[in-house]
Structure formats: C-alpha cells, structure tokens
Amino acid sequence: MANPGDVGHGRDEADGETVSPSRRRFLSRGTALVGGAMAGGLAAETALAEDPNGPPNVPEWMKAPGADTGAQPYGAPSPFEKHVVKNIPKSLKQYTSASVRTPLQDLDGIITPNGLFYERHHGGVPAIDPAQHRLMIHGLVERPLILTMEDIRRFPSESHVYFLECSGNPDFKAIQAGKTASDLVGLVSCAEWTGVRLKTVLEEAGLKPGAKWVVAEGADSAGLTRSIPIEKCLDDALLVYSQNGERLRPQQGYPLRVLLPGFEGNMSVKWLRRLNVTDEPAYSREETAKYTDLMPDGTARQFTFMMEAKSIITRPSGTQRIARGFNEITGIAWSGRGKITRVEISVDDGRTWQDAGLQAPVLNKALTRFRLPWSWNGEPAIIHSRATDETGYVQPSFDALTKARGMNSFYHDNAVIPWRIAASGEVSNGYPKA
C-alpha cells in the first residue's frame, strides 16, 4: 500500500504496484528493447535458448543446495578468480633478496587483501612463535624494556589506513620492460593497520637527552636494520600487530613490525625484535649500499625517506583490451606527504588534462581511487594520470624527473606513467622504446 505522504510516485495500472518515475522510464525503455528484439525476428529468442544458464532458463547451480557453510574454515576467493594472484618473479629465489608484487590491475577500491599484499624480503620469511618473541628497547632510555607480545597488546591501540610502498617501485631503468600495472608499480599496497603508537612505548621507556634516532632491527636471517629519525618515531609511527582486522601474516612481519606512514617501505622493519635509541644513525647496509639515490655527478642522496605523490591508471592498463565507446578510466593515487587533492587525466599524450573524480574516502597517506568517464573513438591514444597532494606537490613527468636525477638512481621513481591504446583496443606500456 502506498504511503499517503509519498510525492512523485505513480501506480502501475496492470498490477497495482507503486512505481517511481525513474523505474517507469526504465520499464518503458525495456519495453522498447523487447519490441526491437521482436522486430528482429527470432534471433534473441534463439540466443536465449542456446544459453542454458541465462534467463529465463534455470542454471544448474539453482537446482541443488550449495556448499556447506563450514566447508572452508578460512574463507577463500571463488575458484573463478584464481587468476588474481600475486605477481611472483620466477627468476628470483625467495629465500634471498626478493619481492612479490600486488596485481593492481585486478583490484578495486583502495584496500589490498592480505593475501595479495606486496612483499619484500631480504632473507626469506622466518617462522616466529609469538609466545617466544620479544621486543627489546634500549640505548638512550631511562628504563630499558623487554616486552612480550602480550605486553605490547596491553598498550592503547589505534587503527589507521595507510599505504606502504617500496622505494624501488619501479627501477628507473626497468620502466620499459613492464607489461602490466603490477609489473610497473606493484610494490605498493594499502591496508588498515592496528597497533600501538611507537611514541607511547618510547615514553614508557623514557627518552634521555640526545636521543635523535631509533635503530630498528628485524628478526629475519638478514637482521635487517634501519635508522628512524626521532621526530617520526614521536609522530605517527606505529608498532603494528594486525592488518585488515587479522593478525599480521608471516610475510608482513608476524608477529610485530614497525609501520612508518609515508616513508619508504624498507624502513617499516618486519619481525621487529629491537629498538636501539641512539644519537646518530646506524649507517647500515640498507641505508648506505642500498636505499640511497645515486646522482649524475656521482654523489648520493641519503635518507630520502618520503614517498612522493604518485598515480597509475589501472584500467585500462597494460595487457587489457577495451572496446570503442564508453570506458571508465580508473586508478589509484597516493602521497607520503598527506592527502591526494587532485588527479588529472590526459587522453591525448599530455597535450590537455582534465580532472578525475576522487572516490571517498580520501585519507591521509592512503591510496585514493580516481575515476573518469571516457568515450573512446577507436583511434590510437596515449593516456596518463597526474597526482597532486595537499602540499601542492605535482607528480612529475619522466623527462623532468630524470633531468634532475639522471638515470643511475634505482629508487624514488614517481614519474607519470603512460599507457598506449592501439586501434585494436589493446593496451600496452606507453614509455618510448629505447
């Protein structure tokens, strides 16, 4: 029965159903489509008859009860999505220094499922019993501490959504080889992290005068060590034990890792076992021989912690195919400086730009999804995205970036990424061939 207070509704005279004007228009269009199909003879009816699972036929999966709800104690994706997996290089031995990429082109939204989160290892993945794991805090502190995981979980907890990105994402010299979005920048992912503020734990230990750095060490076979400025430790740094609502997976540092929002991923030390408060950095392998940026004049930029504004179109992107007519351009943008405020799209190889829509929520130091409706006319095109963050920093072109840094640097390539669309609709890497 219609509500007497409703306005703008009509009644379907055939069955007494109350319908909205928008549904009336949809139904009228549907009637026109049916009429067109009838005018076209028996083609549509024949097509339906040949599709046993399409309406009005009853598909096989409706003819018997489905799987028992207890068949999978830990939920898994549909077997029809088995192609959506991590991008694992076949040439690398995973017990050495190796990486695994997120299939960005197959994902929607901004949160990366735990099973598809990118990985970076320097000595394989240790199997750690959380009951035996300890975190030691020492050095320039008033009260050195050794904490169990139970001790750490007693501190006040927080949850935040942050991206995490490897600074070698991608290598300056490897940009032409990547075929997919994952190949190019798959070493970035985004999750909701839960843990305790590093500041809270350091305050429990009590910082002594002169404390300027905290040297974090992991419990992997590489004993990976990175130096963290005390300012970051007392700002938004976290000691995290959960990711997307469940405990960290072993590949992500179970049972404990440091999380430094906006900083290069290597600094978010996994399997965290020690925090040494010092008056100077450790100058470890991971901040001298590696994770420094070699400049054209032979000098090196060191301690380049911040991940700059960056974006990539994930659909349409490499190895995909589009059809003439309407296509949504969508992708992700992020910045270690804060929120993304603008993403521009060019469909004519950078000659003109237009603003894409930013999907809510737009969060601090998190992936932001952008979208732009586009009608492709079938002609070859090169498409780009360009991000701007809340500080006003604009993602640079590859030419501008390499003019400033040269081609010898391995890290912090945040240049605009082009995709080339052929007349056939096939999408490929748009960087000029060497």
Q: Is residue 68 part of a domain?
A: no
131 and 214 in a common domain:
yes
* One domain for residues 162 and 276: yes
Q: Secondary structure of 205-264 in the HEC alphabet?
A: HCECCCCCEEEEEECCCCCCEEEEEHHHHCCCCEEEEEECCEECCHHHCCCCEEECCCEC
Q: Is residue 158 situated within a structural domain?
A: yes
> Domain for residue 89, yes or no?
no
Asked whether residue 315 falls in the same domain as residue 292, the answer is: no
Same domain, 412 and 285: no
Structural domains of the chain, count: 2
Note the pLDDT of residue 44.
Answer: 53
Last residue of a domain, one of 301, 334, 352: 301
Q: Note whether 319 and 271 are same-domain residues.
A: no
Whether 245 and 328 map to the same domain: the answer is no
Where is the domain boundary, 263, 278, 301? 301
> Contact 125/192 with Cβ under 8 angstroms?
no
DSSP string, 340-398: EEEEEEESSTTSS-EEPEEPSP--TTS-EEEEEEEEE-SS-EEEEEEEEETT--BPPPH
In a domain, 35, yes or no: no
Q: Are residues 102 and 152 in the same domain?
A: yes
* Same domain assignment for residues 206 and 225: yes
Residue in the structure block whose two tokens are 């999380």: 259
Q: Both 379 and 240 in a single domain?
A: no
Q: pLDDT in tens for each of the 434 residues of the chain?
A: 333 333 333 333 333 444 444 444 433 444 443 444 344 445 555 555 678 888 888 988 889 998 888 778 899 999 999 999 999 987 766 566 889 999 999 999 999 999 999 999 999 999 999 999 999 999 999 999 999 999 999 999 999 999 999 999 998 888 888 999 999 999 999 999 999 999 999 999 999 999 999 999 999 999 999 999 999 999 999 999 999 999 999 999 999 999 999 999 999 999 999 999 999 999 999 999 999 999 999 899 999 999 999 999 999 999 999 999 999 999 999 999 999 999 999 999 999 999 999 999 999 999 999 999 999 999 999 999 999 999 999 999 999 999 999 998 889 999 999 999 999 999 999 998 76
Note whether residue 136 is domain-resident: yes
Domain that holds residue 231: 98-301
227 shares its domain with 157 = yes
The CATH number of residue 412's host domain is 2.60.40.650
Query: Does residue 16 lie within any of the structural domains?
Result: no
User: What does the alpha-carbon distance between residue 325 and residue 160 come to, in Å, rounded to a whole number?
Assistant: 39
Stated pTM of the model = 0.87
Residue 288 lies in a domain: yes
Say what the pLDDT of residue 43 is. Answer: 56
**Residue 223's pLDDT is what?**
95
The CATH number linked to 273 is 3.90.420.10
Let me know whether 122 and 265 are in one domain. yes
Helix (H) or strand (E) run with residue 149 in it = helix 149-154
Contact 304, 412 (CB under 8 A): yes
Given 275, 301, 327, the domain boundary residue is: 301
Are 356 and 252 part of one and the same domain?
no
Is 19 among the domain residues?
A: no
